[in-house]
Amino acid sequence: MKILIDINHPAHVHYFRNFSKIMEAKGHTVLFVSRDKEMAQRLLNLYQISYISRGKGKNGKIGKFLYLLYADYKLLQIASSFKPDLFLNFLHPYPSQVAALLGKPSLVFSDTEHAVMHHKLTVPFATKVFTPACYRTNLGEKQVRFKGYMELAYLHPAYYRPNPEILKLLRVKEGEKYVIVRFVSWAAAHDFDHTGMSLANKRKAVHALSKLARVFITSESQLPEDLEQHRISIPFDKMHDAIYYSSLLFGESATMASEAAVLGTPSIFMDNDGRGYTDDEESRYGIVFNFSESEKDQQSAIERAICILEDEGSQIEFKKVRDRIVSECIDTTEFMVGQVLQYNPDQEPVRAENLAKVSLIDN
């Protein structure tokens, strides 16, 4: 079976990298095609995953439309040569549109309800769209809900073990509190009309948190000099370790908020649209705290962060939440493998000696 996986964002590499190892061990062929966005191709190189680049994307509505035409054409060229039996990706339109042209199945995963334009351009062409059970939007008969989160495709204990060496890289003493602060660029298609946290409140948050813990900032955009001194400086593949051992994740990234949650780290997430999965992680597990981008909510988010850091006993309880999440949710990668294999009913059972060669734990 030949499977084409299209990567449109760095997070998508994490979603599918363990799946590809398992499928290749089963004797299937997997081809990655990747947009050159931020660290996506650096991650593919890190995990020694071969890929074909489809170039950088574009910003702005007109730029994104022109890139849609280019990406479809590029993927059609690649598919004509590779001849995939199935297309797999996280919600974006190019693979599903090309799959429909070629008469091939297209399986799509999504956890981003407010990506309305991507829904309109993807769902009509997809074969199935898989979403967490807590997904707010009804996508119709093609939608399949699963009990879990996308982050468990790579942060499930079957694939990830935290490495305490990160504390040395951060120059943090064992037991010393530190906070990861995340600011985003708001340049994605589903982020139009968002402004995020004001610069004044970013400064206020960092100042307040610094009184209680070390502060490390990760930011997609440039920072003023007074905040730049807090920018985290670690290998890009060590961020999950940094989140695991941190006392709090504070910021504007839904993915990182959920990563923190499944690692047992409390998180503050600010976004006007919110996400079904971060709402679920708040209502079900009390480990994510959701706020809008309003001035009032920005102030409330800072106050909540202070309360979490001042509560000395909360950290142990939050780590216990990880065990609950893992026990109550499915292994997303395992689910993914099962769904794809339904399109290859003649598959022979995997040989034990092949699976024994596969290492899925991050080193």
* Model confidence pLDDT, tens digit, residues 133-163: 999 999 999 999 999 999 999 999 999 999 9
Report if residue 214 sits inside a domain.
yes
List of residues 6+ apart from 339 with CB closer than 8 A: 107, 128, 130, 144
* Total count of domains within the chain: 2
Q: Is 284 exposed, middle or buried (0-12, 13-18, 19+ CB in 10 A)?
A: middle
CA dihedral 71, 74, 75, 81 (to 10 degrees): 180
Q: Which backbone phi and psi does 85 adopt, to 5 degrees?
A: -90, -20
Confidence of residue 344 (pLDDT cuts 50, 70, 90): confident
Q: What is the mean pLDDT of residues 67-93?
A: 95
Confidence of residue 277 (pLDDT cuts 50, 70, 90): very high
Report the CATH number at residue 253: 3.40.50.2000
Residues 41 and 71 in one domain: yes
Q: Tell me, what's the pLDDT at 220?
A: 81
Q: Tell me, what's the pLDDT at 359?
A: 52
Closest of 142, 107, 120 to residue 6, by C-alpha: 107
Residues 232 and 321 in one domain: yes
Query: CA angle, 90 as apex, 84 and 96 as ends, to 5°?
Result: 45
Closest of 209, 256, 193, 202 to residue 224, by C-alpha: 202
Report if residue 159 sits inside a domain.
no
203-247 pLDDT tens trace:
999 999 999 999 999 998 889 999 999 999 999 899 999 999 999
Residues 287 and 349 in one domain: no
Residues 128 and 217 in one domain: no
Give the DSSP letter string of 198-227.
Answer: -HHHHHHHHHHHHTTSEEEEEESS---HHH
Q: What is the pTM of this model?
A: 0.90
Q: Tell me, what's the pLDDT at 292?
A: 96
Residue 180 in contact with residue 213, Cβ under 8 Å? no
Report if residue 230 sits inside a domain.
yes
Residues 90 and 198 in one domain: no
Residue 277 in contact with residue 112, Cβ under 8 Å? no
Closest of 224, 268, 227, 278 to residue 246, by C-alpha: 268
91-118 pLDDT tens trace:
999 999 999 999 999 999 999 999 999 9
Residues 219 and 287 in one domain: yes
Is the pLDDT assigned to residue 363 strictly greater than 60? no
Residues 322 and 335 in one domain: no
List of residues 6+ apart from 191 with CB closer than 8 A: 184
* Alpha carbon distance 179, 237 (integer Å): 18
Report if residue 9 sits inside a domain.
yes
Residues 192 and 133 in one domain: no
42-60 pLDDT tens trace:
999 999 999 999 988 777 7
Is the pLDDT assigned to residue 83 strictly greater than 60? yes
* Alpha carbon distance 105, 345 (integer Å): 14
Residues 242 and 228 in one domain: yes
Q: Tell me, what's the pLDDT at 330?
A: 97
Q: Indicate if the alpha-carbon torsion angle 188, 129, 19, 69 is positive or negative.
A: negative
Q: What is the mean pLDDT of residues 262-269?
A: 98
Report if residue 10 sits inside a domain.
yes
* Alpha carbon distance 295, 205 (integer Å): 13
Q: What is the mean pLDDT of residues 173-200?
A: 76
Q: Tell me, what's the pLDDT at 174?
A: 83
Report if residue 280 sits inside a domain.
yes
280-292 pLDDT tens trace:
999 999 999 999 9
Give the Cβ contact number of residue 343 at 10 Å.
15
* Alpha carbon distance 285, 27 (integer Å): 39
CA dihedral 96, 98, 103, 107 (to 10 degrees): -20
Residues 243 and 322 in one domain: yes
Residues 237 and 295 in one domain: yes
Q: Residue 226 pairs with which residues in a beta bridge? A: none
Residue 180 in contact with residue 246, Cβ under 8 Å? yes
Report if residue 125 sits inside a domain.
yes
Q: Tell me, what's the pLDDT at 10?
A: 92
Report if residue 34 sits inside a domain.
yes
Domain range spanning residue 84?
Answer: 2-148+330-355
Kindly report the length of the chain. Answer: 363
Query: Which strands, in side-by-side order, build the sheet including 128-132?
Result: 51-53, 29-34, 2-7, 86-90, 106-109, 128-132, 143-146
Closest of 67, 228, 281 to residue 269, by C-alpha: 281
* Alpha carbon distance 177, 315 (integer Å): 10
Structure tokens given for 116:
């309305």
Bridge pairing between strands 2-7 and 29-34: parallel
Residues 142 and 176 in one domain: no
The residue among 196 and 163 whose pLDDT is bigger is 163
